[in-house]
Amino acid sequence: MVLVAATVLPHVPAARRGLASGAIFLGIGLGIAGSGTIVPPLLSLGLQQTWFGLGLLALVLTAASWFGWPSGTLHEAAPHANASVATPPGVYLLFGQYAFMAAGLVPAMVFLVDYVARGLGAGPHVGAMIWVMYGLGAIVGPVTYGFLADTLGARLSIRLVLAVQATAVGLLPVSSSFTALALLAVILGSFPPGIVPLALARVHELVPNHHHQQLAWSRATVSFATFQALAGFAYSALFNGSGGQHALLFMIAAGAIVVALLLELGMILLNRRPSEAVPTHTLIATGTLE
């Protein structure tokens, strides 16, 4: 997630980088859908054989894509004068947003099938069908969100996506029909892999230097992974402590996504600071300076 995009995107025209990053992270969605298809039959052969089969598949896919890598890497010359450039405040706000996004996606990812199968009493078959719809969303999410980043800009796209996702998570506890759950599953499934190209596009808007982009993206990934892991433990403990209240988890998740959306207010406040107090590339990225 850190190295692939940083290696490939410098070779892509700037106007197409959102779509290209979406195509890169499409693999996450395919992995979600593919795991639901491949793992069950492999498990019938045994756990050791399952891991061996997954490793063999990964080796085949690696070999198939090996010669598709760029022949060289394009690195911007890193001027010594820019070596001590301060990180734009907007990048730290993005780290916070990305962390709350991670916390907001966990309940649907972990508890959606259980909510449908046991919480609503629909049974494991319906739960599996809803998970397939979630996987479908995970497949279309990265490319769709990447296209939005190219068309609307990363910042506006993040606002739009967060508003839609908060609404979708908030509707889960009051939805019981298969049609509604399937639609919500597609929307929610698009979120985990889809926000990755959006966040990456936002980093490219805020940070002009290629080397600094790599540093910012690696830190954003650490922020996302850390909060996702912590949220997983916290939600599991809360689920056990509440006696299996799915609705409580979904409402907390919606709240986390709303917090990520509200952090946009911080960028608005940054725009109100005197221009000389804000880095030029931050002003350009936020639309304050043309």
Please tell me the predicted confidence (pLDDT) of residue 14.
66
Q: For residue 67, tell me if it sits in a domain.
A: no
Q: For residue 61, tell me if it sits in a domain.
A: no
Q: Say if residues 90 and 285 touch (Cβ distance below 8 Å).
A: yes
Q: For residue 136, tell me if it sits in a domain.
A: yes
Structure tokens at 100: 């709350």
Q: Which residues of the chain have pLDDT under 50?
A: 76-82, 275, 282-290
Q: For residue 29, tell me if it sits in a domain.
A: yes
CATH assignment at residue 156: 1.20.1250.20
The domain in which residue 248 lies consists of: 14-56+89-286
Number of domains in the chain: 1
Please tell me the predicted confidence (pLDDT) of residue 27.
74
pLDDT digits (tens, 9 = 90+) for 202-247: 888 888 777 787 788 888 888 888 888 899 999 999 999 999 999 9
Q: For residue 2, tell me if it sits in a domain.
A: no
Residues near 72 by beta carbon (within 8 Å), at least 6 away in sequence: none
Residue 244 backbone zone (phi > 0: left; psi -120 to 50: alpha; other: beta): left
Q: For residue 9, tell me if it sits in a domain.
A: no
Q: For residue 75, tell me if it sits in a domain.
A: no
Say how many C-beta atoms besides its own lie within 10 A of residue 74's C-beta: 10
Structure tokens at 183: 């639609």
Please return the burial class of 172, using the count of CB atoms within 10 Å of its CB with bins 0-12, 13-18 and 19+: buried
Q: For residue 66, tell me if it sits in a domain.
A: no
pTM to 2 decimal places? 0.74
Please tell me the predicted confidence (pLDDT) of residue 1.
54
Q: Say if residues 145 and 195 touch (Cβ distance below 8 Å).
A: yes
